[in-house]
Structure 1
Amino acid sequence: MIILIWECSATMLVVKRLGLIEYKKCWELQKETQQALMRGKGEDTLYLCEHTPVVTTGTRGLKGGLLVSEEELAARGIALVKSDRGGDITYHGPGQLVVYPVIDLRKIKKDVGWYIRGLENVVVNALYMVNIKGVTLAGLTGVWTYKDLKYNNWGQNDCRQNGGGYEGFSKIASIGIRISRWCTMHGIALNVLDQREGFSCIDPCGLKGASVTSVEDFADGITVEKMAELMVESFREEFGFKEWREECVLAGT
């Protein structure tokens, strides 16, 4: 378990639960909050939601990561959206917890790499709370688990130090962000319930042949709501938010 607590001037975090919401609608909410932060008038906000089925591409574009035609995607009821986040192609759908921090790094630490590693730590520490060993891999962003469950114990080292490659691992959380004037948006997608059907349309994050897993593969009876609580706790600890308040915003789809 990794916990890094940073003293920062941003002590209040607003947590907003949006429920099930279309990707584009949530994207607009993030942009509004980010622009307010850049003007010095907004509040550091953590959005939590699930999305209606959608495949999104980042600034790297498709690059062959879509394994079916756009027509087939539409026939399956899955939207396709080009996003302004970093990274490649990914899938979002019900049962996946999406966590979007829209925060001002000028009050915390102006370091993009540090921030991304911090988001990975948020996931690793939340998984630890349900007895799952999440690992990071050298040269790759996101959090993975071992395919062979005998290695899912805390005697293993962080694989970021043990060479590259993702063979033998399954991805449980993806990370893609955008930072403008040190104010963040986009964030983490954690597979809580099984997402294999949706991910079967793509190579996750453009990684050919990569497999995905979910929290429920390891923890019986887990819910999106429970993991949301743990992710909020882990995020606050990681980034040093001493105070927080929660707002339930049922934005709808």
Structure 2
Amino acid sequence: MTQLVQFEDLGNMPYKQAWDYQESLLQQNLKVKSDLRVLAGSEEIPDSQFPIPTTTHHLLFVEHPPVYTLGKSGHIENILISEDERAAKGIEYYPTNRGGDITFHGPQQIVGYPILDLEKFETDIGKYLRKLEEVIILTMADYGLKGERSKGETGVWLDPDIKGKERKICAMGVRCSRWITMHGFAFNVNTDLNYFNYIIPCGIENKQVTSLENELGRKVDFEEAKERVKRNFEKVFDVKL
């Protein structure tokens, strides 16, 4: 059965505010799961007038003001500028509870945060990440670009097997609690790539970062790009937004 996913475009929102919102949605779903466990252990027959609670899927889109975020297994030394230099450039910084290392979020980047109950899909984080990658690969194909996976490295790349030409266009890092996901992907559309010069993106040295704008040689309609990601998300996950 096709799952329903509540979609919200949060617009431009500070990173911590969006993180707190994600956390609130995750906690709501965790409470539902807790209530269901209590119900399952009860001998009382539920009153048919009251529907049995169920978890709710969400997909959030957001743009963040410039910010570096560090995954829980990341290394702070992958930020190459001092705290004072970062502050002078107006770039925030947050250590997070997602997987992965250091990355950048900023204007004209589609940041997607799916809060999904994987028990209604597949309880396999690897498959979940491959599906997120597929959403971006299909979106890139809409623009005539060949997005690919790089062996052992999460995210979406161009020319991952050509040494010296590897360039990442979408970073990913997730958290999962009782099979409820949060955090997600960051897809560079018209993103200012200069911000990546001050970090070792995802902790991967000697590889480039790119954007749709950089690859196509023109500005991309940002709203159109978001619509394409949404449609491909529906297709890959077999959901309705």
Q: Fold match, TM over 0.5?
A: yes
**Any unmatched runs of 5+ in structure 1?**
1-8, 147-158, 245-253
The correspondence of residues 1-253 of structure 1 with structure 2, limited to 5 A, is 9=1, 11-40=3-32, 41-146=54-159, 167-219=164-216, 220-241=218-239, 243-244=240-241
Task: Using the TM superposition, give the Cα deviation of residue 62 of structure 1 relative to its aligned residue in structure 2, in angstroms.
Answer: 2.4
Amino acid at match of 1:189: A
Partner deviation per Cα, 1:25-44 (whole Å, 9 max, x = no partner) = 00011111111122235421
Partner deviation per Cα, 1:6-30 (whole Å, 9 max, x = no partner) = xxx5611111000001110000111
Amino acid at match of 2:171: S
Contact 2:67 2:93 in 1 (8 A): yes
Larger Cα Rg: Structure 1 or Structure 2? Answer: 2
- The alignment partner of 1:173 has SS state of strand
2:39 counterpart residue number: none
Note the aligned Cα RMSD (angstroms): 1.6
Contact 2:70 2:76 in 1 (8 A): no
Contact 1:86 1:177 in 2 (8 A): yes
Contact 1:50 1:94 in 2 (8 A): yes
Amino acid at match of 1:140: E
Which portions of structure 1, spanning 4 or more consecutive aligned residues, are displaced by more than 3 angstroms? none
Task: Using the TM superposition, give the Cα deviation of residue 166 of structure 1 relative to its aligned residue in structure 2, in angstroms.
Answer: 6.1
Contact 1:10 1:107 in 2 (8 A): no
Q: Distance in 2 between matches of 1:87 and 1:30?
A: 18
Contact 1:175 1:187 in 2 (8 A): yes
2:45 counterpart residue number: none
Contact 2:190 2:219 in 1 (8 A): no
Amino acid at match of 1:119: L
Partner deviation per Cα, 1:37-61 (whole Å, 9 max, x = no partner) = 2223542110001001100000113
- The alignment partner of 1:136 has SS state of strand
Q: Distance in 1 between matches of 2:2 and 2:123?
A: 13
Question: Which structure carries more relative contact order (alpha carbon 8 Å, separation 6+)?
Answer: 1
The size of the alignment, in residue pairs, is: 219
Cα gap change, 1:235/1:179 in structure 2, threshold over 3 Å: closer, same or farther?
A: same
**Any unmatched runs of 5+ in structure 2?**
33-53
TM-score if structure 1 supplies the norm length? 0.82
